[in-house]
Amino acid sequence: MARGGPGVSWHARELVDRLARQSPARLAVGVFGGVIAIITMLLLAPWATAEGTPAPFVDALFTATSATTVTGLVTVPTGSYWSTWGLVVILVAIQIGGLGVMTLASLLGMAVSRRIGLTQRLLVSSETKTTRLGEVGSLVRTVILTSVILEVTIALILFPRFRLDGESWGTAAWHSGFYSISAFNNAGFVPTVDGLEPYASDWWVLMPIIVGVFVGSLGFPVILNVGARLREARRWNLHSKLTITTSLALVVAGSVLVAAFEWTNPRTFAPLGPSATALASLFAGVMPRSGGFSTVDIGDMHEGTWLLMDALMFVGGGSASTAGGIKVTTLAVMLLAIVAESRGDRDVEAYGRRVPREALQVAIAVSLISATLVLVSSLLLLAMTGETLDRVLFEVISAFGTCGLSTGLTPELPTAAKYVLSVLMFVGRTGTMTLAAALALRNRRRVIRYPEERPIIG
């Protein structure tokens, strides 16, 4: 027995290292798919539902995928359909998904080898976009500590408020803990039947959730960099500056535009007072970043508001964050490239730094692949459901951006359409470029470069 343990550990480490060397992306996607499979099996158990009967496979798979990819779209009402055991399983899936698939692979490697080796450092570096291998060990610790500290803080703030509503100590602790984990991980799942609608004008409940969603959407590389140089903003790296400034700009623009569109809507903001309207607008401006919570019925909003939220959900949050979408840095790099081209500059520059051309190429590839996935998925759902384009497009982008906001269409979808959204959530969370690398048969290396010739553009 004494010899068997180290032998098993050595073989497991060798297997992980071999898979990681051959294709880190495939290993990551495989681990993530394995987690979804396990969660699905747990949700298929009779005791996972409130009625004590096994859930349909499509609903169990959809919920497992939505929870693990921290999306929040549901085919059945979370608070009433699942039992306490089912909700615990969903909560565990949210926490695992929030850590990130590459970070999870690194933690598994640590459990086997008791240390972070070079391969594991490369794995987590790919997920977290950390360029210095020496920062990876610190980043993994920051991921865990930051998650726990912020989630506990949000829960402690929410707990007294739920107690004031007459909830028991256990129920208040459960609800505050669930909302805190769901908020920081941008999951959008709610443990109660009515969700957050009863708290549409409650700053005490909504502000901690807003802060949790926003911080979670920034990404752990930003948290690590800003935390190390909290009072030295000038020394923040370019990624942190672009992520924070672009995120704040999107939140402000989104909140103002949602307020403008919905201010007189009798089914959403019109019945609210000025203070409640301001809070609801801020909440609605932050949630499309991938939060997925709502205080009003999204289905009652104007079509113009849906289109605005489509754009915000498609962009999503920061790289290596709990948010989805093409990421704010992708948008920032493309906007900077447009500015540079309009000025006639050869280089794309920001904050005294030059953005490599490779970054622009990746940004364009990610955007085009993502847009293509949204287009194809929308066409499939239009053919399967016969619904209008505005509702279908909203659900598709919400799934791809792992946001979770819904016009109410998802529970009404046929089984085939639910599978389409499940795949889209998986692709949206693992990343279009990661999935493309995972499916690639081999890495193509070019030795010969052809002569340069510029085509006519525009």
Is residue 81 a part of any domain in this protein? yes
Question: At a CB cut-off of 8 Å and minimum separation 6, what does 368 contact?
Answer: none
Alpha-helical (H) ranges within 219-296 are 220-228, 238-262, 274-286
Nearest to 24 by CA among 84, 141, 85, 103: 103
Is residue 453 a part of any domain in this protein? no
Is residue 448 a part of any domain in this protein? no
DSSP 394-415: HHHHHHHTT----SS-GGGS-H
Is residue 343 a part of any domain in this protein? yes
Is residue 378 a part of any domain in this protein? yes
The total domain count for the chain is 1
Prediction pTM value = 0.87
Q: Beta strands 353-355 and 348-350: pairing type?
A: antiparallel
Is residue 384 a part of any domain in this protein? yes
Return d(Cα 154, Cα 167) in angstroms, integer: 18
Is residue 447 a part of any domain in this protein? no
Question: At a CB cut-off of 8 Å and minimum separation 6, what does 145 contact?
Answer: none
Is residue 103 a part of any domain in this protein? yes
Length of the chain: 458
Give the DSSP letter of residue 239: H
Place of tokens 């293509």: 372
Name the stretches of the chain with pLDDT < 70. 1-28, 100-140, 142, 432-446
Domain hosting residue 335, numbered range: 4-439
